[in-house]
Amino acid sequence: GEDVEQSLFLSVREGDSSVINCTYTDSSSTYLYWYKQEPGAGLQLLTYIFSNMDMKQDQRLTVLLNKKDKHLSLRIADTQTGDSAIYFCAESGSSASKIIFGSGTRLSIRP
């Protein structure tokens, strides 16, 4: 079945870049997403990428997609304390209605 895997924790120094990695198994994935969840809050859609793209940039965020290896990454440039959160990688098929989430990567920032 469909599965999305990501590492559980990442710690970076303030001002450095953070790179969060994710792999997925569904070769028919059409949309791939990154969501951010702050403590006690809902999910905020950070960005999404279509499977026919290999890169998307939005201000400090860069998403890279390697469709052959089914690998997705999120790079956050100049990481700030406000970036501390859990980041979820997710994917969906062409209908997009059912989104499959990974277990989340907890990003912590050290001074």
Interface with other proteins (CB under 8 A), residue from 45, 57, 78, 81: 45
CA angle at residue 87 from 83 to 89, to 5 degrees? 145
User: Distance between CA 32 and CA 36 in Å, rounded?
Assistant: 14
Interface with other proteins (CB under 8 A), residue from 4, 21, 61, 75: 4
* 39 lies in the binding site for other proteins (CB under 8 A): no
* 101 lies in the binding site for other proteins (CB under 8 A): yes
What are the C-alpha distances in Å from 60 to residues 19, 33, 56, 57, 68?
12, 16, 11, 8, 26
User: Distance between CA 75 and CA 8 in Å, rounded?
Assistant: 16
Task: Choose one: 51-59, 61-69, 75-83, 85-93; the region binding other proteins (CB under 8 A).
Answer: 85-93
Residues that bind other proteins (CB under 8 A): 4, 31, 33, 35, 41-45, 48, 88, 90, 92, 95-104
